[in-house]
Chains A and B, each alone.
Chain A
Amino acid sequence: MNNPLTFTFALALGDDALIAAQRLAEWATRAPEMEEDIALANIALDQLGAARLLLSYAGELEGAGRDEDALAFLRDDREFRNCLLVELPNGDFAMTMAKLLVLSAYQLPLYTALAGCADERLAAIGGKARKESAYHLDHAALWVKRLGDGTEESHRRMQAGIDQVWPYAHELFVAQPQAPVDPATLRGEFDDTVSAVLAEATLTVPESGWAPGGGRDGVHTEDLSYLLAEMQVLHRAHPGARW
């Protein structure tokens, strides 16, 4: 393999985007309003598009002949490298927006930094994806504010969503000094972005010492295996078939 560190990095980002897309797409036909059905599908499509670019590139770096589909459909959960955040079940709409806020506030500075990195392919992917992430962040921030500062019920649900999701942010910023972008360097911008949104939404930043992790090493929650079972079932039932 040419560059195992870049491979691992591209794979992890690709898996984040793929699993996020799979979860967001679960909202299709179920969103709270029709416009939101369209918006969530858009965001899912952006994530899926980024996933395809990243996984294709990871496959090329690996040099073992695996394409985007081999990586998406033929690995087991212990081989996936996504963060735990994206595999968490959607919960209610507030929890989904909490997940999207944390994810996009992480992906935006990440892709922005990637756009300036030395690896040309990753730089091109970062340059494209950061514009999409900016829209995802706007969308999530708008809903977090609406729900946080909406009705009593929505405030309660939004705070609960943030409380549930917050501990999973830790894993996103674990230092990888050798990676094309070291996620630890992004934490400051993330904190600034998210705390401004939460303050405007009249929500509080949860205090929790719990910092679950392991996704980057392939140690996931129980949920991922179920997600993959559904996502992979048809592809695996027809080995070698073209679609």
Chain B
Amino acid sequence: MYGSDFPGEDAPGGLLGEVEAAEAALRSAAARDREVAGPDTDLADHFAEIVAADQKIEPRDWMPEAYRRTLIRQIAQHAHSEIIGMQPEGNWISRAPSLKRKAILLAKVQDEAGHGLYLYAAAETLGISRDELVDMLLEGRQKYSSIFNYPTLTWADVGAIGWLVDGAAIVNQVPLCRCSYGPYARAMIRVCKEESFHQRQGYEILHTLAHGTPAQQAMAQDAVDRWWYPSLAMFGPPDGDSTHSARSMAWKIKRFSNDELRQRFVDMCVGQAEVLGLTIPDPELRWNDERQAYDFTQPDYAELMRVISGDGPCNRQRMDHRRRAHHEGAWVREAAAAYAAKQASREKVAA
């Protein structure tokens, strides 16, 4: 469907290999015998043992209430991000500059809807319904990733989102493929594989632009200039200020700190930017031999907090759009339910 009519190789440092390694680890964890909880087993101990052994907690297992709540929050916010994240790129489907690009973009936006659905389904295994979660999104009680509150002003933004935003998403999500909660880990493997195609496609869009006309090159650089720091901010506040991290690490929901992941992302992007022939808009960016990593300028965390609190350039627009689609579709969903009820009662009569 997509990806196959796509020339080109993995961007250097492609992440697909890491996803495959996580998948292999998941299979081998599943193959190892898991101790079964008997009537005398202490449930909390049993939970701790499974987590310690890098095995998976499954929906039927006992789990601490806070673990369940943390996961619901995290998976739901991830699902909401996939759904809201369709909008900035969806903005360019109608104007995509070639039919091939239009097909790839449409398929990508469709994939994001699919990611949203698997993630809602993963959250539902924790005892909450998709409708409840969607209501929480629409009422503003749960958040989605702040990156989607920035506008897509040119076609190059579609490339920059693929390269940087999908790239940052993968760096964030690859460790989640090893998350202690089985349904989430499995959903993330499927999602990450598709995200790595998205990243490759975005990279390829930018590569074409960066090797195109002067106007295309300028468009590509402008997009990278605008998306670089918001992408760095996707990893969340610096470790010192992050509220939920320590406990999530202990539960193996999270495996690396925000700053570690941000560093990994920067290190991955530098070489890719060189191949693209685009400049990362950070005059402080340079290799640090001692740390074996790049030094870089932190994103503006005050801006991140403003966007999270609702005052980004597109927060209102994104939420209005989602609420409108939901409200305008209500009569259709009601009709489908009414029709299904009629069919069921007809079958009963016939039986």
Contacts and interface: CB of A to CB of B under 8 A. Distances in A.
B325 A238 contact: no
Contacts of B103: 45, 48-49, 52
Q: Which size class do B's interface residues fall under?
A: 35 or more
Best-surrounded residue of A18, A45, A230 (most CB of chain B within 10 A): A45
Given A32-B329, A44-B106, A72-B99, A151 B334 contact: yes
A38 to B, nearest CB: 5
Given A145-B339, A150-B339, A242-B212, A48 B97 contact: no
Contacts of B101: 243
B332 A41 contact: no
B102 interface: yes
Nearest to B321: A29
Nearest to B103: A48
Contact of B99 (A52, A150, A230, A240): A52
A64 interface: no
B75 interface: no
Interface stretch (B110-118, B178-186, B268-276): B110-118
Contacts of A238: 97, 213, 215-216
Contacts of A55: 99
B208 interface: yes
Contact of B212 (A42, A73, A241): A241
Nearest to B107: A45
Given A69-B98, A238-B215, A150 B117 contact: no
Contacts of A241: 97, 212-213, 215-216
A234 interface: yes
A171 to B, nearest CB: 25
A207 interface: no
Nearest to A93: B332
Contacts of B212: 241-243
B216 A234 contact: no
Given A41-B107, A45-B106, A241-B213, A69 B86 contact: no
Contacts of A25: 93-94, 102, 106
Contacts of B331: 151, 153-154, 157
B328 interface: yes
A123 interface: no
A13 to B, nearest CB: 15
Contacts of B113: 34, 37-38, 41
A219 interface: no
Interface string A213-243: 0000000000000000011011100101111
Given A44-B106, A241-B216, A147 B114 contact: no
A154 B109 contact: no
A51 B99 CA distance: 9
Interface in B189-240: 205, 208, 212-213, 215-216
27 contacts: A18-B99, A21-B102, A25-B94, A29-B90, A29-B109, A33-B332, A34-B83, A34-B116, A34-B117, A37-B86, A37-B110, A37-B113, A41-B109, A42-B110, A48-B102, A48-B106, A52-B103, A69-B99, A147-B332, A147-B339, A151-B331, A151-B334, A153-B335, A157-B331, A234-B95, A243-B97, A243-B100
Given A34-B113, A235-B98, 19 more contacts: A21-B102, A28-B86, A30-B328, A31-B325, A32-B333, A37-B86, A42-B110, A48-B106, A51-B99, A52-B100, A68-B99, A149-B342, A151-B335, A153-B335, A231-B94, A234-B155, A238-B216, A241-B215, A243-B100
